[in-house]
Structure 1
Amino acid sequence: MGEPTAKTVNDRTATPTHSAGATLPDGATGVARTEPRHTLLGRLRTPRRPRLWFEILLIGVSYWLYSLVRNAVPEQERVALRHASSVWSFEGHLGLDIERSVNHSVNSVTWLIVGMNYYYATLHFVITIGVLVWLYRAHPGRYGAARLVLFVTTAIALVGFYLYPLAPPRLMTGGDFIDTVQVHHTWGSMASGNLAHVSNQYAAMPSMHIGWSLWCGITIATLATPLWAKILGGLYPLFTLSVIISTGNHFWLDAFGGIACLAVGYGVAYLIYGRWIYRLPRQPVDRTVAPGASDPRTA
């Protein structure tokens, strides 16, 4: 006994088809899969195992290009300062202009502001790379889509840096903000201090500290198993927001710009993959499943 077969005109056996709601090996249903894998969209929507050497090369080259383009944008000081005054004035109309008060208050607590300076200079990169490595190892089927979100977000930010040069609050003329790196002589920040000359000082809008940290936070809070990890993931972008304001590196509106860029990144990924990226199979399609065993790709 077996599944019924149909005879073709040439008396060949036709392959039985799945019913509309049948579960396919990758956890999708017959209704959900509408694109054959040999089409371009089908290939894009099929999670595949990332290659370590390629990912290291891709991320390294991408960050080099990001830094090159970001720092090659003309540093239009006069325009950037004028934009900063406009943003500060607009926030005043909205009642959001509390950055200066926060900057001065936190700066009065030396251990706190020094810690925030190092946070700003290092965790932006360390946490993001750490989440990418974790995705690569624990969620390879979702890694490519999540990486795409990050890349699209960053690409949009580069356009923003070019079209809307913006000085950070600490560089505003007459803004009375404190450059906390200069005051406390902390190490590592390319935004101010001795390393300022190698970085574009007028690329504050949108804030990629917020864009990247929110991407990390959503990824961790959605995919991590331990409750403490989910909580830390949710708190990470909030901590980052407090740091960028306290150190005088960004306005509130810069943070909203970073959020908007990330939203577009997720939207592009949804259009390509046809679903929320964190609902993609955990394991790529090149992993076989033994007959009768549960499929780990849907975990």
Structure 2
Amino acid sequence: MVTTTFNVTEAADAAQPNLGGAQFASHTWVEPIIVVSIMVASLTVNRRRGYRLMNSTRGRSPTRSLLPHNHVQDLSPDSSADDDSYLSNDSDVFTSSKHPPKKRNCCGMVIHTPNSSRFANHFHSRILAKFPFLIEMFYWALNLLFYTLTKAIAQVTFSGYDGLWQLAQDHGVLILDIEHKSWLRFLFPIQESDFQAWFLNGHLSAITFLNRIYSLVHIPGTVAFLSWYYYAAPSHSSFATVRRTMTLGNFAAFSTFTFFPCMPPRLLPEEYGFHDTVRQANAESVWMGGNYVNQLAAMPSLHFTYAFVIGCTFLYHSGVFRRTLGRNEPRKSVSTQIFFLTAGILYPLLVLTVIVATANHYWLDAAVAMCTTSLSFLCNKIWFFLLPAEDVLCWVLRLDKPAPTTGQRLEPQTGRYHIVKDEEDR
């Protein structure tokens, strides 16, 4: 009996290949510190310089989006108005001459919404005016909230956990059949299991590297990119286009997660030949575990959605494929162009290698992510229909939405706030 038990155990060990090095033991506290550090650094770098939180000046809003007229305005930090002008009654929200209502185009209709610029001197408005990147962090929090709902809605829709699990497994197998047994198989010449096996057999250093960057690519890497681009973009309109594209890509994925739950390769039955290389010895990333994480959300890949947006942004700003540059956008040196071009190509390829080699996604997940991201770019201005709701929310909170600081470093320094009305910066 002892001999039999030993042989079974030995056989099981032999069947389990070396999966490379797991996550670092310090991941549970290092990863959150990395993300928080990036956010704090971005708040600091992207702060509005020369703007004081404690200032008795009232009335004039230092914001771009809430100005009543479509023209350039120069607002001095020391400009003043009647001290009680921001205390207008709610009844004059659509009749005030000092803070006239805004006109929003929504589904072909013009909607008049409250102008909350009268609240510019409220302390919470001044905090946002000083640190406008807080608005971006608020948008991220909303994205996370909607992501957490996908798991709960899918479980209710498909009769609980057991029914959802079986359906997700069927969808995973269906994707493998489409890739390698249908007429589309010429698009996917390498099977995912063979791709992973190449790393597990003789290339353990590479799989260790991929295991350890898996968690750092998705959340910290994306946060770092958005933080950097908020500062480096030639205009906030450029940044907002990327942010809206990424957000719409998120919601396209969230909808698919809810109504087409899909099991990642690592969770398929053993006969399919996949191994979970990332989650070893309870070394799961803090971003990939927890009750809020939807494990049955392989299709499409959010990892590749973000990587594709980042790669395309790098390619665009390399300037290689454009004859003319945007306003205030300087022409890059040849070496910088090569760097952006290389990063724009290699970064998505790296992420694709990571998600497939670690058995977290199928090839088709990335292909669909490319399609949803491209459609999201073409339709990214659809988010403008939420501007009326945002205006109402700002009014309810007695909050003046701040002007972004993106692109200010490229503007001529005049010692005054140079503010332009531009709805696309929203």
User: What is the TM-score of this pair, normalised by structure 1?
Assistant: 0.69
Task: State the distance in 1 between where 2:274 and 2:290 align.
Answer: 17
Task: State the distance in 2 between where 1:187 and 1:203 align.
Answer: 17
Superposed counterparts of 1:217-296, under 5 Å: 217-224=311-318, 225=332, 226=336, 227-269=338-380, 283=407
Q: What are the ranges of 5 or more consecutive residues in structure 1 without an aligned counterpart?
A: 1-23, 26-36, 44-48, 274-281, 291-299
Counterpart amino acid of residue 126 in structure 1: P
Q: Cα–Cα, structure 1 residues 80 and 143, in superposed 2: closer, same or farther, change >3 Å?
A: same
Task: State the distance in 2 between where 1:197 and 1:54 align.
Answer: 27
1:127 Cα deviation from its structure 2 partner: 2.3
Q: Cα–Cα, structure 1 residues 71 and 114, in superposed 2: closer, same or farther, change >3 Å?
A: farther
1:151 Cα deviation from its structure 2 partner: 0.7
Q: What are the ranges of 5 or more consecutive residues in structure 2 without an aligned counterpart?
A: 1-70, 73-101, 111-128, 156-160, 319-331, 385-405, 415-426
Task: State the distance in 1 between where 2:228 and 2:253 align.
Answer: 25
Partner residue in 1 for 2:240: 144
Deviation track 1:252-281 (CA, whole Å, cap 9, x = no partner) reads 1111121121012101126789xxxxxxxx
Partner residue in 2 for 1:67: 147
1:289 Cα deviation from its structure 2 partner: 9.2
1:232 Cα deviation from its structure 2 partner: 1.2
Deviation track 1:135-161 (CA, whole Å, cap 9, x = no partner) reads 211222312221111110000100000
Indicate the SS of the match to 1:40: strand
Q: Are the equivalent residues in 1 in contact too, given 2:212–2:278 (CA < 8 A)?
A: no
Q: Give yes or no for the alignment of 1:200 onto 2:301.
A: no
Partner residue in 1 for 2:195: 102
Q: Are the equivalent residues in 2 in contact too, given 1:120–1:189 (CA < 8 A)?
A: no
Indicate the SS of the match to 1:248: coil
Q: Are the equivalent residues in 2 in contact too, given 1:211–1:262 (CA < 8 A)?
A: yes
Q: Are the equivalent residues in 1 in contact too, given 2:172–2:264 (CA < 8 A)?
A: yes
1:242 Cα deviation from its structure 2 partner: 1.1
Moved more, 146-155 or 92-101: 92-101
Partner residue in 2 for 1:17: none
Deviation track 1:183-204 (CA, whole Å, cap 9, x = no partner) reads 576542655xxx3665222110
Q: Give yes or no for the alignment of 1:161 onto 2:257.
A: yes
Indicate the SS of the match to 1:235: helix
User: What is the TM-score of this pair, normalised by structure 2?
Assistant: 0.50
1:117 Cα deviation from its structure 2 partner: 1.4
Task: State the distance in 1 between where 2:146 and 2:348 align.
Answer: 22
Superposed counterparts of 1:83-98, under 5 Å: 83-93=171-181, 94-95=185-186, 96=188, 98=191
Q: Which has the higher contact order (CA 8 A, sep 6+)?
A: 2
Task: State the distance in 2 between where 1:189 and 1:258 align.
Answer: 24
1:162 Cα deviation from its structure 2 partner: 0.9
Q: Cα–Cα, structure 1 residues 196 and 169, in superposed 2: closer, same or farther, change >3 Å?
A: farther
Task: State the distance in 2 between where 1:235 and 1:164 align.
Answer: 30
Q: How large is the RMSD of aligned CA atoms in angstroms?
A: 3.2
Task: State the distance in 1 between where 2:139 and 2:292 align.
Answer: 23
Task: State the distance in 2 between where 1:158 and 1:272 align.
Answer: 16
Q: Are the equivalent residues in 1 in contact too, given 2:265–2:361 (CA < 8 A)?
A: yes
Counterpart amino acid of residue 149 in structure 1: T
Q: Cα–Cα, structure 1 residues 171 and 127, in superposed 2: closer, same or farther, change >3 Å?
A: same
Task: State the distance in 1 between where 2:272 and 2:177 align.
Answer: 11
Q: Cα–Cα, structure 1 residues 58 and 197, in superposed 2: closer, same or farther, change >3 Å?
A: closer
Q: Cα–Cα, structure 1 residues 270 and 68, in superposed 2: closer, same or farther, change >3 Å?
A: closer
Percent sequence identity over aligned pairs: 23
Superposed counterparts of 1:169-180, under 5 Å: 169-173=265-269, 174-180=271-277
Task: State the distance in 1 between where 2:260 and 2:364 align.
Answer: 13
